[in-house]
Amino acid sequence: MARIRARAISRGVAQGEALVCSQPISFFGGVDEKSGTVIEKGSPIEGKSVAGKVLVFPRGKGSTVGSYVMLQLKKNGVAPLAIINEEAEPIIAVGAIISRIPMVDRLEGRAYAKLKDGMRLRVDGNRGCVFLL
């Protein structure tokens, strides 16, 4: 089990299968809050669900309402289990914190680029690390 150091953003620990998106994600207008399905036209993960996944994407984009969409996803039981960003920004960080979704960013070395769809990952937002399972 390989351990990668990262910066802790939101506390908690979760593990699951990675869903990797190569482009920034907007939760407001980009993810259906009832189903967790990505509805943003042209997104590399359009039509896929973030529910129960370790969501890996470079950073967030769009409206600050996205933080509250993340909270609604959590309330509806269709939120990501954890989030890994290349570089966190406030919309996603706040959304993860208020939704109690473990989140990290700034993975050491070039580890972020090596994360692929389907990998089993454990995100530890308490200690600031990611484990490749």
Q: Is 26 a catalytic residue?
A: no
Residue 125: CB partners within 8 Å, gap ≥ 6?
8, 9, 10, 11, 12, 13, 82, 102, 103, 104
Of 8, 15, 2, whose CA–CA distance to 127 is shortest?
8
Question: Which residue in 10, 26, 43, 63 is the catalytic one?
Answer: 63
Residues with a catalytic annotation lie at 63
